[in-house]
Every structure is written in C-alpha cells, then in structure tokens.
Amino acid sequence: MDVISVIRTKRDRGELTGDQIDWVIDAYTRGEVAHEQMSSLAMAIFLNGMNRTEIARWTAAMIASGERMDFSALTRPTTDKHSTGGVGDKITLPLAPLVAACGAAVPQLSGRGLGHTGGTLDKLESIPGWRAHLSNTEMLDVLSAAGSVICAAGDGLAPADKKLYALRDVTGTVESIPLIASSIMSKKIAEGTGALVLDVKVGSGAFMKHLDDARELAATMVELGTDHGVRTTALLTDMATPLGRTVGNALEVRESVEVLAGGGPADVVELTLALAREMLDAAGLKDANPAKALADGTAMDHWRRMITAQGGDPDAPLPSAREQHVITAPSSGVLTTLDAYAIGLTAWRLGAGRARKEDPVQAGAGVELHAKPGDAVVAGQPLLTLHTDTPEKLPYATEALEGAYTVAPSGTAFSASPVVLERIG
C-alpha cells in the first residue's frame, strides 16, 4: 500500500477498498502516514463523501486501533446515550442514574466542552472531590456499586480517532458526516455497550443547524451501530433554545439535582424521560417506569451512590461565581426567541467554556435564564443573570447577546417547538 494511491482514489471519487482503509488508518496511527497526507485524504472525503460500506470499514479500523471494553461480567444489560452537543445540555447527569435505577447498567464515557457547547466532565468536576479519570477496573467497580458511571475515555480506546479528530479540527474537515459518524461510533462501539441511543441536536446551538443534515447524520450512525451489532436508535431534538434554565457547569449540576429530586424545568424532564425510555427499551427493559423512579427518589439514590463512588461529595456546596450581572427585559410582552448559540457563546465568554482543550474553565460561570420562549415578561424584569469570576469579561460577553432574544407585543401568537422532533431507527 502507499498513501498517494489511497488519496488519489478518493480524490477521483472512487470507492476505497477495505484493505486500503485498514492500512491507512493503521499506518497513520503508527506515524507512517504524515499529518499532511492524512489531511489531504480527509479533505477528499469531506468533498466526495463515503458510502455505507466505506464508513463501516473506516469505523471498524478505528475501533481496531485500540482496545474494546468488556462488560460481560455484569449481571445487568448495558445501555448508553450519546449527545452531539448543545447549550444547557445537562441530560446525561440525571439520565445515567435514572436508567440505572430502572435496572440497566450505564457505562457513560463523556467529554469536555469546547467552544459554545458544554462538557459533561467539566460540569461534574464542579462537585468537590469528583474524579473523571478512572481505570477500567475502577469503572467496573463503580458500575457494580451504583449501576452507572460517567467518566473520561481512556487513551486506549480508539486512539486513531483521537489523532484524526485533532487533525480535522485544524484542517477545516470537521463538518463531514462520514467522519463525524465514524468518530462518534468508533468510541461508542469500542466502549462495549450492548445498546446505544443517540441524541442528535438540531438548531442554532447545535453542530447540525438543519434538520436534513441532522437526519442524515443520525441515520448514518444508526446504520453503523447496527452493522457492528449494537442496537442503536436516535432522537432528533431541538436546540434552537437552550435546554432548561441554566447554562454553565455548577449551575447545570444544581439544575440536574432538582430534576432528580422530582422538580426541574419541564423540557429537561421531558427529554430525560424520552431518552430513558429509549435506552431501557433498547436494553430489553420495556416494563421499567423511569417517571416513577424520578418521583419516588430511587434515581436520586443512584446519583448519590455514583457521585460518592467517584470520590465526590453529593452534599457539598457547589461553587458560585463571584460576580453577577442582570440583563432585564427591554419591554413588556411575550418572549418569542432566545437563541441557543448566542447564550452558549455568552457563557463561554464568561468563563464556562474553553477555546482550546488545554484551557481551564470556571465552575461557577454561566448564564441563568429567568424566562423561556412563550413566557410573558414585563419591562425591567430580570431576563438573564450572567455569572463570572472575571467581571472584566462582562462587556465582551454581553456583546454576544445582541439580537439573541425577542420580546413581541402581548397577545402575539407563539407556538413552541417540540423537544423531540423525530425518531430514527
């Protein structure tokens, strides 16, 4: 094999053979194929795409570059969820212990935030003592003790994807559905879960802005999971408006605990239950009742057990930002829009997110939403509260809010978008 012929095949809109794909992924992981050569191939894939056979083989090659986890020793069926990322997307936090409370094991490998979308690990690290990095043995121990675990993926899991993802990030080839799908699914399949539910976000605050693109990505990932023996379904969910009423790290943990206590915002509860039902159905637990587990405190018990098993103190006070700044409603009427991307960008500028993976985040930074689209507001009432430890960032953060919300005259007709838009698989 030689990399030039592989690049030329895809450049000329040809189909890569299984042997070509296996060789180029392995050679790149070992350093035999240079970064600039893989950049050229990634761009050719970006421009000319891949068919289902190619994507399946590409994913399999990335899985084969590292280890596969094995949960066969567990007595419970395993099921997992992956979100493509959004603003205020705290769903993993209440969802994992809720599904565990209903009889499944949830091995949830999560990531950190980059740009305007928050990271699950960053949120949980605002809990004093909580650890994201666990060995495989520790991960199994937490699963046995609590039924669910949320932690960082180890270095041995799909290392080819880790290397290729970093390359795509700096070569303008991120927005390729074959490469996105294979990146997500190689890690999830290598994780070893028996069933997988995908939460594919659609809207301004999501990676996929348009429904057709989100539908194509979801269908591709469902096919990949099916081709690799993992029962996979997907929900397309709305991300035009932030989920819940908080965006930030400790702020979102606090809201997640409210959901586990039987309260919390209606949209967060609705999506958590919808995904829980999908996960339990995929795991063969069709008769489980996640709404009951939320109401009777069973899910909260599993949350406390999981946090404690990972070194955290579920009773410790969560960090708060040193400074708050209130944005008020400009007029009386009905709030009709609240742009997810603008809110996410504001939270990022306040310190809740990072521009580079090495950057620190502020645990208490973020945005609190006092109204959601459809709510009546009065001129001068609090609309948003900005939280930060670095008040000098406030002018820069508030710039992102220009045009982010609309207050229409009272009586204006408003129709809310459903939380769940479609189901695939």
**Catalytic residue list:** 82, 161, 168, 183, 187
Q: Choose one of 278, 309, 340: the last residue of a domain.
A: 309
Nearest CA to 152 out of 111, 106, 196, 114 is that of 111
Look at residue 359 in the predicted model and tell me its pLDDT.
82
Average pLDDT over residues 138-157: 93
Give a yes or no: residue 222 inside a domain.
Answer: yes
**pTM for the full model?**
0.94
User: For residue range 175-221, what is the model confidence (pLDDT) as tens digits?
Assistant: 899 999 999 999 999 999 999 999 999 999 998 999 999 999 999 99
Among the residue ranges 190-194, 243-247, 357-361, the one predicted with the least confidence is 357-361
Which tokens hold the place of 327?
A: 């944005």
How far is Cα 343 from Cα 337, in angstroms, rounded to an integer? 11
Q: Is residue 240 part of a domain?
A: yes
Q: Does one domain contain both 282 and 372?
A: no
Asked if pLDDT for residue 115 goes beyond 80, the answer is no
pLDDT in tens, 332-357: 999 999 999 999 999 999 999 887 77
Residue 380: name the closest of 372, 389, 370, 388 by CA. Answer: 370
Q: Is the pLDDT confidence value at 389 over 90?
A: yes
User: Structural domain of residue 27, as residue ranges?
Assistant: 3-49
Q: What is the pLDDT of residues 129-146, one digit of tens each?
A: 999 999 999 999 999 999
| Same domain (yes/no): 342, 391 | yes
Give the end of a domain, one of 309, 340, 357.
Answer: 309
pLDDT at position 66 is 95
Does one domain contain both 209 and 250? yes
| 361 shares a domain with 267 | no
| Residue 417 lies inside a defined structural domain of this protein | no
Is 419 inside any structural domain? no
Per-residue pLDDT band at 169 (split at 50, 70, 90): confident
In a domain, 61, yes or no: no
Q: What is the 3-state secondary structure (H, E, C) of the chain?
A: CCHHHHHHHHHCCCCCCHHHHHHHHHHHHHCCCCHHHHHHHHHHHHHHCCCHHHHHHHHHHHHHCCCCCCCCCCCCCEEEEEECCCCCCCCHHHHHHHHHHCCCEEEEEECCCECCECCHHHHHCCCCCCCCCCCHHHHHHHHHHHCEEEEECCCCCCHHHHHHHHHHHCCCCCCCHHHHHHHHHHHHHHHCCCEEEEEEEECCCCCECCHHHHHHHHHHHHHHHHHCCCEEEEEEEECCCCCCCEEECHHHHHHHHHHHCCCCCHHHHHHHHHHHHHHHHHCCCCCCCHHHHHHCCHHHHHHHHHHHHCCCCCCCCCCCCCEEEEEECCCCEEEEEECHHHHHHHHHHHHHCCCCCCCCCCCCCEEEECCCCCCEECCCCEEEEEEECCHHHHHHHHHCCCCCEEEECCCCCCCCCCCEEEEEC
Residues 375 and 266 in one domain: no
Q: Are residues 178 and 265 in the same domain?
A: yes
Mean pLDDT of 23-48: 97
Measured CA to CA, the distance from residue 368 to residue 376 in angstroms comes to 17
Mean pLDDT to the nearest integer, 381-385: 98
424 confidence band (pLDDT: 50, 70, 90): very high
Shared domain check, 148 and 9:
no
Q: What is the CATH number of the domain that holds 392?
A: 3.90.1170.30
Residue 100 confidence class, pLDDT cut points 50, 70, 90: very high
Note whether residue 63 is domain-resident: no
195 and 106 housed in the same domain: yes
Q: Provide mean pLDDT across the span 371-375.
A: 97
- Provide the mean pLDDT of the chain: 95
pLDDT of res. 53: 94
CATH number at residue 238: 3.40.1030.10
Span 253-304, pLDDT tens digits: 999 999 999 999 999 999 999 999 999 999 999 999 999 999 999 999 999 9
Contact (Cβ atoms closer than 8 angstroms) between residue 407 and residue 336: yes
Query: Within this chain, do residues 304 and 359 fall inside the same structural domain, yes or no?
Result: no
More confident residue, 331 or 114: 331
Q: Is the dihedral of CA 155, 156, 157, 161 positive or negative?
A: positive
Q: In the prediction, which pLDDT does 355 show?
A: 76
pLDDT at 198: 98
Please say whether the beta carbons of 1 and 23 come within 8 A. yes
Q: What is the pLDDT of residue 49?
A: 97
Domain for residue 404, yes or no?
Answer: yes
Residues in the chain: 425
Phi, psi of 161 (to 5 degrees): -65, -40
Q: What is residue 329's predicted lDDT score, i.e. its pLDDT?
A: 98
Residues 116 and 240 in one domain: yes
Q: Tell whether 425 is covered by a domain.
A: no
Say how many domains are in the chain: 3
List the CATH number of the domain containing 44.
1.20.970.10
- For residues 92 and 221, membership in a common domain is answered with yes
| % of residues, the chain, pLDDT over 70 | 100
Residue 112 has pLDDT above 90, yes or no: no
Among the ranges given (7-11, 167-171, 353-357, 404-408), the one the predictor scored with the smallest mean pLDDT? 353-357
CA atoms within a 13 Å half-sphere pointing along the CA-CB vector of 126 = 27
By CB atoms closer than 10 A (0-12, 13-18, 19+), residue 49 is middle
Average pLDDT of the segment spanning 236-244: 97
- Same structural domain, 9 and 130: no
d(CA 247, CA 86): 10
Tokens of 77: 């069926």
